[in-house]
Every structure is written in C-alpha cells, then in structure tokens.
C-alpha cells in the first residue's frame, strides 16, 4: 500500500490543479508519519537505517526525484505495515487508489477497476438493513450507474473510498470474490486527468449492463412483484420483455440468451436483484414467530433469509450444502425434525414458483 500511495502522490504533485496538488501533499504527509513511526529497535529496520533516518526528516520529501522514489520503493516500502486491521477495508483502499492512479495516467485498466467498484457497490446495496450502510445508500446506488463515472474525478473517487471503506466489512466473505491487486507501474510525469470512458464490447460487460439496467428499473411494477415474492402473470412478463429488449438499450432477446442462456425471465431477475428482506421474512413468518426455536434453528432461518435476499431463490437440495452445513453437518435434517423440514422446503418451493411463469 505504501508504494501505491507513493506513486499516486508523485503523480498528483505533477498536476496543475491546486486541489490535486494538495491531495498529493496530504498523502506525502501520511507517508512521512508512517516512516517516522518505524520501530528503530527492529532488526529489519536497522538494516536500512541510513535510508530510514534520511526519510524520517520531512525536508527530504520536498521535490522528490525519480531516484528518491526508487530509493523509497527499494528500502522504505518493504519496512512498512498497515496499522489498520480490517483486511477488506485495506483491499478496498488498494482498489480505489489504483483506480485514482489509472485515471490520472489515462490507463485502460480503469474500466476494469470501475467495474469492480460497481460490483462492490451492488453487494453493499443488499445490506440496506444495516444502519451505517443505509446512510450511504444514495451514494451506493449512484455509483452503480455508468453515467456517474462519465464525469467522475480523482477527488470524487477518493471521497467514495473514504465514505465506503468502513462498510466493506459487512460484505459476506464468500460473496466477495473480487481480488484487488497492487501492480507496480513505472513512474510517469506530466500526466493530466482524463475523463473515464466505458465500453461494453464483450459478454461480461453486456452482463453487467443488464444487471445495472434491472437495478435502475427496480421500481417497475413487475420487477417489484418479483422482488417481493408476489405472483406474476405471463402478460406481465411479456410486457417486461418488451421494455427490456425493444424499448431499452440492451439489444435483442437473442443477444440476451447468448449471454444468460434460456431461462424464465422472472427467475433471472430474482437471481440478480434478490428477494426483499421483508418479503423473505414474511414468507417464513409462521416459523420465525415460533418462540420455541433454539439458537441453531434461529441461525439456520437467518441464513435462509440472508441467502434469499442475495440470490433470490434456494433449491431444496441446497439446504444440505454449505453454508447450511456450516451450521450443522447434516444440513436442515440436523437442525429441524422431519415435519418442520418439510414445511420449510414447501415454503421455499412456493417462493421459487412465483417467478417461474416466464
């Protein structure tokens, strides 16, 4: 992280805009504090003490040259550790700082990094029941739109990093598959900030475009019914298909099938948007309101609710696999008796049927 911050600061200081220069200096000040905090009694630090002592002096950071940067990379960066213990927040920091640097350097990888931010925001949007996440929901929804990024600046990206980094810990680990990397790039000077350009030119980006379209139109009556476990008709599905493939910007239904395969549209939408948490709880109200449930049974039902709000459906056989076997190795059969297990499976099948009309 030290190297990434240093590269970003170096490029920011080359900019003409006062705010960008100030941002670069702020990062430098932070790196100076980290260097001054190095443990002087550490054997590893003592091995590079001459260089460490040099950069403990704030004056040595004035007007850094390429040679200074290389010295910091080679001797100081390996000594650094992040004090923040939240690993997911640190990964998010790395993602956002890398994005800021790629925008300044006008690198094509900014498109990939933006998509990772959009994916992360999409996962956070599923956590609206958490108060601190709910407070940032306007921002979370905004950055899932491609139009937001067309005018995004480095300073705006930095504000996103600051506003969301403390929320990343609420993401479920098994759902967070994005790997944030910190590549070593050559230092470039004289770079100017460029607008971001997003291009949808492959199957993966088309898939993301469909997902964003659905999220942006989540208040459509039929989509609302799908998210709230309300039965839908074939007429409603046909009308929704017309909006998606004829009036919208998603291309033809054939292109959609090429990417997502042949499947009921309602089922697909539910898998993207999930089930509203209140709808999921209402579907199992007769069981959740049972005052005799033990702690393991409550945890099992909470897992069902959480899974439905993210994935939208649960096939009965999944109740005998992870994450349910993480609660009991026998899955639902080890947590509930046969009668209750049958009731739960029946309710799940009802939830699934509500979107299979299309």
In terms of domains, do 212 and 314 share one?
yes
Q: Is residue 74 part of a domain?
A: yes
pLDDT for 336 equals 93
Q: pLDDT tens digits, residue range 258-268? A: 777 788 888 88
Q: pLDDT tens digits, residue range 133-192? A: 888 888 888 888 777 887 778 888 888 888 888 888 887 654 434 445 555 555 444 445
Domain C-terminal end among 43, 58, 79: 79
In terms of domains, do 248 and 340 share one?
yes
pTM: 0.47
In terms of domains, do 211 and 352 share one?
yes
Q: Residue 199: pLDDT band by 50, 70, 90 thresholds? A: very low
Please say if the pLDDT value at position 349 is more than 70.
yes
CA distance 87 to 173: 11
Please say if the pLDDT value at position 251 is more than 50.
yes
Beta carbons within 8 Å of 67's beta carbon, 6+ residues apart: none
Angle value at C-alpha 118, between 116 and 121, nearest 5 degrees: 110
Q: For residue 84, give the nearest of 135, 131, 30 by alpha carbon.
A: 30
In terms of domains, do 158 and 210 share one?
no
Mean pLDDT within 95-113: 83
In terms of domains, do 275 and 312 share one?
yes
Please say if the pLDDT value at position 236 is more than 80.
yes
Q: Is residue 258 part of a domain?
A: yes
Token pair 């942006």 in the structure block, residue: 216
Element (H, E) at 207: helix 203-216
Please say if the pLDDT value at position 194 is more than 50.
no
In terms of domains, do 343 and 221 share one?
yes
Domain count, the chain: 3
pLDDT for 264 equals 84
């Amino acid at each position: 992280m030290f190297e990434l911050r240093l590269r970003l600061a170096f490029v920011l200081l080359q900019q003409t805009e006062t705010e960008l220069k100030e941002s670069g200096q702020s990062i430098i000040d932070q790196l100076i504090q980290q260097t001054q905090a190095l443990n002087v009694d550490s054997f590893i630090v003592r091995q590079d003490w001459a260089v460490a002592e040099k950069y403990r002096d704030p004056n040595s950071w004035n007007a850094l040259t390429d040679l200074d940067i290389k010295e910091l990379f080679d001797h100081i960066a390996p000594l650094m550790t992040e004090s923040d213990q939240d690993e997911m927040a640190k990964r998010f920091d790395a993602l956002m700082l890398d994005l800021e640097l790629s925008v300044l350097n006008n690198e094509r990888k900014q498109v990939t990094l933006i998509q990772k931010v959009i994916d992360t925001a999409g996962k956070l949007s599923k956590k609206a029941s958490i108060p601190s996440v709910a407070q940032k929901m306007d921002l979370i929804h905004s950055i899932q739109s491609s139009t937001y990024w067309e005018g995004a600046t480095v300073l705006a990206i930095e504000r996103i990093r600051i506003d969301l980094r403390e929320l990343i810990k609420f993401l479920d680990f098994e759902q967070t598959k994005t790997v944030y990397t910190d590549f070593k790039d050559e230092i470039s000077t004289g770079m100017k900030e460029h607008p971001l350009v997003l291009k949808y030119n492959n199957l993966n980006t088309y898939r993301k475009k469909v997902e964003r379209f659905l999220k942006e139109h989540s208040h459509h009556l039929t989509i609302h019914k799908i998210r709230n476990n309300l039965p839908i008709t074939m007429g409603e599905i046909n009308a929704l298909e017309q909006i998606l493939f004829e009036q919208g910007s998603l291309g033809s239904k054939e292109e959609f099938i090429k990417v997502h395969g042949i499947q009921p549209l309602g089922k697909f939408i539910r898998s993207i948007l999930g089930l509203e948490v209140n709808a999921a709880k209402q579907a199992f109200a007769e069981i959740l309101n049972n005052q005799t449930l033990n702690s393991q049974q409550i945890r099992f039902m909470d897992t069902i609710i959480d899974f439905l709000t993210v994935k939208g459906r649960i096939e009965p056989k999944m109740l005998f696999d992870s994450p349910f076997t993480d609660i009991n190795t026998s899955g639902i059969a080890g947590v509930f008796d046969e009668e209750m297990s049958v009731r739960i499976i029946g309710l799940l099948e009802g939830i699934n049927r509500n979107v299979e009309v299309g």
